[in-house]
Structure 1
């Protein structure tokens, strides 16, 4: 079997999201995706990365990134391949998913230059857009120019079908971002019951064009756990045991994290991408 490894493409699975809180379902996504990719015989998954969104995302009920990162780290403590990265969550501004993918791709290109990487992807600031533009396709250029780059693992976005279908929500994603994500990186999408993802892909010219880079994974052992339902149970004083890792439950209880008050956080505030892209379209 070891002789086959050089022919397999190494993959790093990146999951972006609120993780508010992290649940057993989030962890299962990684296992399902790895099994699927290994069964194709073409890929070898070498790492999974959980990247919690920053507080600037402004989602209703989103508690502090410090707590969400801490819970994710506790949840993955015993995993030998899934880890938590707090780069995205530590930024003062909201970052598009594409920028997070680029960051991790660049990190793989030059693992010994993590610090210089932070300079390679500056945060969005007014008046710097033109300067940032040349960085947009840097990973692709490097991949084409260097014969050794083929050995660099691919970064693929791991998500549920709800994320894929959110591509259709006006002003939530930029079309050019969606195009670059599916073209340059690819998606591993776990299909949840009741989501007709294939129809959604068929109806989108962009997704259809790059459908070979979208891996749909069937979830045969269905699991409908969601962070929203966890928070609802906690507000009602109901048990969440066996829905989240025990260490996460203990952390939530110790810090008294979820309450009707925390659920009202960011109430009435427009989600960061909707705010940004709606204002961009007006200019």
Structure 2
């Protein structure tokens, strides 16, 4: 009965995951603990969505490899899955559109009887799986909420000119909600206070403190790999093996997209609505 009074939540994390690190995975655990400790939410699923090659970020390796590493990293999780829709798009897709896509999938799932397994079932559910639901399951699905999960750096990037459209930010925080994990040197609450838009939707923004400081950065991991230094224990062992087996992250790969303007800056700089 207690869980039925809680809003069911699906956490969606969008990013490069270049490569995925243990901190990316920890974000999901921290967010779930925080939301469920409020007594208002039951987190039933986490989704990792890697950006496509069209994002044009320097050093970004092929989406195929990034998705494969994400799947290796989450293969032992009973609630975090990987979705390849965003990464498979030929052009860069705005985060707001990615969220809409997954919300549409959730809505369609309600109609056809698809659902997500909760952690108590101790069973990994892949997105394409189906099962026959009971009436009580269907009723609980009606309250399922999709939230964007991110780090404080993503929240603060809302202030970078032409990186985000204002209407997209308003939709993300106003319609869906945001769960932000803090990091050293960042003050999300101050940033929210300074932004009229974020302040307006502050009740939909959940700032989650990370008391055990962890500054693992994919950028630092790639630098260490280029220099032949150990990155063990910074990312899952099976991901590290995949990197070595496929000889990923070299001085050459770091020059991918060098000198190319990031896709959102290209698109939004010429948008008269910005």
Q: TM-score, normalised by structure 1?
A: 0.85
Question: Is residue 2:73 matched to residue 1:57?
Answer: no
Instruction: Give distance in 1, aligned partners of 2:68 and 2:141.
Output: 34
**Contact 2:8–2:140 (Cα < 8 Å) also in 1:** no
Aligned pair count reads: 249
Q: Which runs of 4+ in 1 moved over 6 A?
A: none
CA 1:150–1:76 in 2, change beyond 3 Å: closer, same or farther? closer
The equivalent residue for 1:73 is: 71
The equivalent residue for 2:229 is: 238
Q: 1:194 deviation in Å?
A: 1.2
The equivalent residue for 1:6 is: 4
Instruction: Give distance in 2, aligned partners of 1:102 and 1:270.
Output: 26
Q: 1:111 deviation in Å?
A: 1.8
What are structure 1's unaligned runs of at least 5 residues?
Answer: 115-147
Question: Is residue 2:261 matched to residue 1:270?
Answer: yes
Q: Write the deviation string for residues 45-85 of structure 1: whole angstroms up to 9, x where unpaired.
A: 00000000000000000000000000000000000000100
**Contact 2:182–2:188 (Cα < 8 Å) also in 1:** yes
> 1:131-280 alignment to 2 at 5 Å?
151-280=142-271
Q: 1:281 deviation in Å?
A: 3.2
Instruction: Give distance in 1, aligned partners of 2:217 and 2:185.
Output: 15
**Contact 1:109–1:149 (Cα < 8 Å) also in 2:** no
Task: State the SS of the aligned residue for 2:244.
Answer: helix
Q: TM-score, normalised by structure 2?
A: 0.88
Task: State the SS of the aligned residue for 2:212.
Answer: coil
Q: 1:151 deviation in Å?
A: 1.6
Instruction: Give distance in 1, aligned partners of 2:88 and 2:219.
Output: 23
Question: Is residue 2:33 matched to residue 1:35?
Answer: yes
What are structure 2's unaligned runs of at least 5 residues?
Answer: 113-138
More helix, by proportion:
1
Instruction: Give distance in 1, aligned partners of 2:105 and 2:144.
Output: 11
Q: Write the deviation string for residues 223-275 of structure 1: whole angstroms up to 9, x where unpaired.
A: 00010000000011000100000000000000000001000000000000000
Instruction: Give distance in 2, aligned partners of 1:62 and 1:150.
Output: 37
The equivalent residue for 1:119 is: none
The equivalent residue for 1:122 is: none
CA 1:113–1:270 in 2, change beyond 3 Å: closer, same or farther? farther
Instruction: Give distance in 2, aligned partners of 1:10 and 1:188.
Output: 14
The equivalent residue for 2:13 is: 15
Instruction: Give distance in 1, aligned partners of 2:159 and 2:4.
Output: 38
**Contact 1:109–1:152 (Cα < 8 Å) also in 2:** no
Question: Is residue 2:43 matched to residue 1:45?
Answer: yes
Q: Write the deviation string for residues 98-143 of structure 1: whole angstroms up to 9, x where unpaired.
A: 01111111111112789xxxxxxxxxxxxxxxxxxxxxxxxxxxxx
